[in-house]
Amino acid sequence: MEASFWDGKRASGIEDEINFNEYSSAVQAIEEAFVKYADRPAFTSLGHTLSFQDIDAYSAAFAHYLQNHTSLIPGDAIAIQMLNTLQYPIAVYGALRAGLRIVNTNPLYTEREMIHQFNDSEAKALLCMDIFAKSVENIQAQTSLELVMVASLADMLPGVKRVLINSTVKHIKKMVPKYHLPEAISFRKALKQCKGKGFTPAHLPNPDDTIVLQYTGGTTGVAKSAELTNANIIANMLQAGSVVAQTDEQGNPLIEDNKQSIMVAPLPLYHIYSFTVHMMAFFRLGEHSVLIANPRDTETFIKAMKPFKITGLMGLNTLFVSLMESPNFKELDFSELIFTLSGGTALIDDTANRWKEITGVGISEAYGLTECSPAVCMNPINGLERQGTVGQALQGTALKCINAIGEEVPIGQRGELCIKGPQVMKGYWNRPKATRESFTEDGEWLLTGDIAIIDDDGYVSIVDRVKDMIIVSGFNVFPNEIEAVVATHPDVINCAAIGVPDPKRGEIVKLYVVTNNNASLNGDEIKAFCKDKLTAYKIPRIYEFRAELPMSPVGKILRRKLKDETEPVKMSA
């Protein structure tokens, strides 16, 4: 269906058309926000807040340093490998103002993965936290890196607090391994050296210029980089930001124009989901983002939210579950919470129901992928979300589902989801063959590898991944369906279903389970629990209980890693 199929179907206040030519570059939107919202708080991290004016000044200083104290020129790539701290937006905005391309780098990468990404992206510079500097020392000689800059966790905090936190991290918690990078530049000293000095605007102004190299997870092979252009980032920034224009039944805006929203950012900024939503869409709208450096430390995460009456929170299923496991979460003030956005992995119905009971607000599930900057579909907010779907296509976005031979299937039928829109990447960096293979033969539609259903109202349901589908005796079985059922068991915290070879049936379902310390829960009990909820061939035959499941840094369960493991099965039913 072309993009016009969704016109007239969206929630009140969300326009069907967006002027994607509003900005010539992403930097133009950033510069506009600096001026328009100068006195507003922009980002908070580790209890300290910087205003839009502060971020403007610091990023300008960083841009000056890059232009006047390094050999970098517009178009060069700079890798940024950091946690969610105040340094991240400063570095990104400064680098973009200096005309550099951003290479968002996962701090948890192995040294092998770092070598691949830095060389593949042709990164000439790296800004990393000292926590990861030892790995940089080990691999720098094997990379294209000419310049290394190092930051410490609390660099942007006031004097005493900065020294105390950095010393604790280094000397008490022993989180900073000793490293030797004699030519490395201190990020904090670079900012101090160039404070108040101007820079020459040198951003990449053309819509088709690549400004972000965003690497895919690489769980099924070597990580590839999606080339995201000015036009891609601008389009998705405007599309994702349009949700705040939603109105109630009386036509009143859900989020007042004059009132600043407080958005919690627990997902890493190096991930395209958080990068586009917080550093682009919400920043352009003048919202305040609370950065969470380590969302897996649930109690510290909750403490970081406690001083605020939050407006919105972006997360995913495993994160919501971990928050709700803590009694302290229920003590937070949810009186001004308007929406919770879920993406990155399937949202389980039980999680959404429990979340609404505790907070009073439903979870609006969205859908996207790295290659689409990332947002493709989004649910309305404030009770209008349609649970079990990922919402409707964003403005200007066409979708269709195709069968195994590439034919479009009718509405309501399952097929591989294909996307066409202004947020779709230019292609994979230096990989023309992979680029061709990721699109339909005519080059018009991006192939997602996700099985979806589009209904008459334009709501999209993601059934599963093509590669994750299990075929039992010729029947298609989707892991998401099994996991959604098992997750409703009161003693189950997390679970993951995969297919394993079986001589009689081709494949059977194996289920990995994490319980809430109930050692007595076994496969027989789960099998009985599923009996009246799942068709017989969908019920797992093999069970393995674990303390935790392998997850990506944003909390996505890695089924592929489970399939690759060869550990003995502990119990079967």
Under 8 Å between Cβ of 85 and 189? no
Q: Which two tokens stand for residue 30?
A: 């950033």
d(CA 350, CA 344): 17
Instruction: Please tell me what DSSP assigns to residue 443.
Output: S
Q: Measured over all CA atoms, what is the biggest interatomic distance in the chain, rounded to whole angstroms?
A: 72
Under 8 Å between Cβ of 80 and 88? yes
Q: What is the residue whose two structure tokens read 């190092």?
A: 150
**Does pTM surpass 0.95?**
no
d(CA 28, CA 17): 21
Alpha helix (H) residue ranges in 99-186: 111-121, 133-139, 159-167
- pLDDT, one tens digit for every residue, the chain (573 residues): 999 999 999 999 999 999 999 999 999 999 999 999 999 999 999 999 999 999 999 999 999 999 999 999 999 999 999 999 999 999 999 999 999 999 999 898 889 889 999 999 999 999 999 999 999 999 999 999 999 999 999 999 999 999 999 999 999 999 999 999 999 999 999 999 999 998 999 888 899 999 999 998 543 456 899 999 999 999 999 999 998 899 988 889 998 878 999 999 999 999 999 999 999 999 999 999 999 999 989 999 999 999 999 999 999 888 998 999 999 999 999 999 999 999 877 788 999 999 999 999 999 999 999 999 999 999 999 889 999 999 999 999 999 999 989 999 999 999 999 999 999 999 999 999 999 999 999 999 999 989 999 999 999 999 877 778 887 876 778 888 899 999 999 999 999 999 998 877 778 999 999 998 777 899 999 999 999 888 888 999 999 999 999 988 778 888 888 988 744 344 343
d(CA 463, CA 481): 8
Q: How high is the pLDDT of residue 566?
A: 43
d(CA 368, CA 314): 14
Under 8 Å between Cβ of 224 and 428? yes
Q: How high is the pLDDT of residue 568?
A: 38
Alpha helix (H) residue ranges in 501-548: 523-530
Domain 50-205 has CATH 3.90.226.10: no
Q: How high is the pLDDT of residue 216?
A: 84
d(CA 502, CA 472): 9
d(CA 277, CA 312): 12
Using alpha carbons, select from 185, 157, 136 the residue that is nearest to residue 87.
157
d(CA 50, CA 27): 19
Domain 470-572 has CATH 3.30.300.30: yes
Q: How high is the pLDDT of residue 554?
A: 76
**Quick check: bond before 550 cis, omega within 30?**
no
- Residue 444 CA to its chain's centroid (Å): 25
Q: Are strands 225-229 and 427-428 parallel, antiparallel or unpaired?
A: antiparallel
Q: Which two tokens stand for residue 428?
A: 């994979």
Helix or strand run (H / E) with residue 55: helix 52-68
Please state the domain extents for the chain.
50-205, 470-572
- Output b/e per residue, 44-69; b: 16+ Cβ within 10 A: bbbebebbbebbbbbbbbbbbbbbee
Other Cβ atoms within 10 Å of 239 Cβ, number: 26
DSSP secondary structure string, 76-96? -EEEEE--SSTHHHHHHHHHH
Q: Mind spelling out the 3-state secondary structure of 251-295? A: CCECCCCCCCCEEEECCCCCCHHHHHHHHHHHHHCCCEEEECCCC
Strands (E), 503-567: 506-515, 542-545
Phi, psi of 463 (to 5 degrees): -80, -45
d(CA 250, CA 244): 16
Q: Which two tokens stand for residue 243?
A: 């949700």
d(CA 10, CA 18): 13
CA distances to 311, 317, 530 from 486, rounded to whole Å, are 31, 14, 7
